[in-house]
Amino acid sequence: MQEKINKQLSLTGNMLKVIAIIAMTIDHLAWMGIETYTQAESVSQILLHMVGRLTAPIMIFFVAEGYHHTHDYYRYLKRMAILALISHFAFCYFNMSSFNPFKNLIFNSTSIAWPLMWGLIFLKVWDSTKFKTWIKVLITIIGCILTCTADWSCAATIAILLIGRNHGKFHRQMLYLMFSVSMYAVAFFIVHSHIYGILHLACWGTVPLLALYNGKRGDCKWLGKFFYWYYPAHLAAIGLIYRLFFLRG
């Protein structure tokens, strides 16, 4: 009976990615027309953005999972690099910021796809026997510097490394994930917005969802790739909708 209940409650990777897509879309639609954090401090806005906090931890978790399940690491890395490039322009278009990352705000110079890609690189580096430890540490520091101004900063990158290095140890993975999220929340609290720094702690709500993950991808094989390409596509679409219907006049 208990096994039957657990099977009914379990979630495949595809189900979790659908949850992430829905939460992400709600979050980004709620940002439409909002130019400063103080404009988005109403109760309704905060609640919508709390829902959106489910997305990043799921993305981070499945990049680490993908590393362990991929049959071709370099093909996976190439896909992530292309995604990071395309997502940069979609993110800046949505965010109404400069395509030049050096002109943008801290934590918003480019999309989360950039640190996700570097997390994948970190996992390969630390699994390699070709590099000495000091070289691995140096590459990690360089990667953190290069991603620190992106959305989700180097917290996403470090989280992928720690989760991936603890594959199969769920409780430890979640502790590392939430530690990284909490450090990002503290940085956001100090640099940008007290309210939205605290709001990032809503990412802890992802842990119960990930606890239901049954280790299976699901029947819909194409959904994994769709999840990643949906990210830049919906950002560009929301940016276009805002310009067409809300910036007139």
122-159 pLDDT, tens digit per residue, is 999 999 999 999 999 999 999 999 999 999 999 999 99
CB-based contact 20:58 (threshold 8 Å): yes
83-128 pLDDT per residue, tens: 999 999 999 999 888 898 878 766 689 999 999 999 999 999 999 9
Residue 237: per-residue pLDDT: 96
CA-closest candidate to residue 115, choices 92, 140, 146? 146
Three-class SS state of 166: coil
Predicted TM-score (pTM) of this structure: 0.91
Residue 223: per-residue pLDDT: 79
Place 36 in a pLDDT band, splitting at 50, 70 and 90.
Answer: low
6-34 pLDDT per residue, tens: 455 799 999 999 999 999 999 999 887 66
Residue 222: per-residue pLDDT: 80
Q: Considering Cα of 183, then 186, then 190, then 195, what sign does the dihedral take?
A: positive
CB-based contact 66:163 (threshold 8 Å): no
Cα gap 139→137, rounded to integer Å: 6
Tell me the residue type at 104.
N
Q: Looking at 56-65, 223-232, 240-249, which range is the least confident one?
A: 240-249
Residue 5: per-residue pLDDT: 38
